[in-house]
Structure 1
Amino acid sequence: MAGGLLRDYAEDFEVEGVAVRGLAREAEVAVAAAHAVYKEHMVLLIDCLTLERWLSRRAVEASRELGVERALWVALSACRSIRAGSAEAPYRLPFPLLAGVYAEKTLGDAWFRGTLPNALRYLAGREGAGRVLLSRLTRRSY
C-alpha cells in the first residue's frame, strides 16, 4: 500500500488520558485485509474480528482508494468460511487464489509494480530465499 495515502486516514485519539494519532477504523480494515492477504497469505481470527466489526461503506471506500479492495473481499470470504465452520483459522489462502490476487494487483496498481524491483533484489540477495518463499506459501500457522 502507498503509505502516503494512509496519512489521509489519520485521526486523533485518547488512550488512557494520552493524546495519540492513529488510523481511523476504515483504514484499519483496509490495512488488516491487505496484511492478511498480501503479506501473510493467511487470515487469522483477529483479522476476521477486525474486518467484521469495523466493516462499513467508508471501509470499502477506503480499501478502494488504498488499492486493496480485492484483498478486503478475499479476506471477508475467508472469514465467512471460518464463521460457517467450513474452514479453520488460521486460514491459509490457496496458492491459485494468491496467484490471481497478485496478478490482478500487478496489472492494476502502478505503485505496486514500482515496488517489484526492490522485492526481487531483496529476494535475490537473500540466501535461501526460495526456501523461505516456499515456507511462506505452505505454512499452516505463524
Structure 2
Amino acid sequence: MQSMTLDPPNNARAERLREAIEEGPLRAFEIAERLHASRTSVLNWKKRGAINVDNLRGLADITGYRFWWLAFGEGPKKIGDEKPGGQHIIQSDNTARLSPEHAHLIDVLNQASQSGLLNETMARSLASFLQEMIKNRTLFDK
C-alpha cells in the first residue's frame, strides 16, 4: 500500500484528516482499532497527512467525511453537505438516485454501519420500524 503525497506548502490534507478524526463519532484509538492500524499511525495522519488509500477510505466511512474532500479538499466535506438538487449516486444502489433524501438515508446508514455504531440488533429493529411505517403509510400520506 502506498501513502498519498503531502499537500504543499502547509499540508492541508493533515488539517482535513485532523478535523475528521477529532470531529468524527469515534476517538482516535477506536479508529485505529477499526482500521487495524496503530494509534501512532492515526496520530501521524493528523500530523503529516500521509495515509494510504485503504485507510483513507476507511476513515471516510467511519467519520462521515467524504473521501474526495479528505484526499484533495474538493467537493462536499461531509455526508449530507451536498447542495439541494445535487446528484447523489451510490454505485451499488439505485435507491440513492431517487432523491437527495434517499441518498442521505443510505449515506447515514453506511456511515453508522462502517463505524460499528449500527449493530445487527439495531439494524434489525430499524428495518422492522421502517416496514411497519410503510405498512401504515396512510398515517404519513398528506
TM-score (norm 1): 0.28
| Structure holding more strand per residue | 1
Name which structure has the greater RCO, CA cutoff 8 Å, separation 6+: 1
TM-score (norm 2): 0.28
Which protein is richer in helix relative to its size? Answer: 1
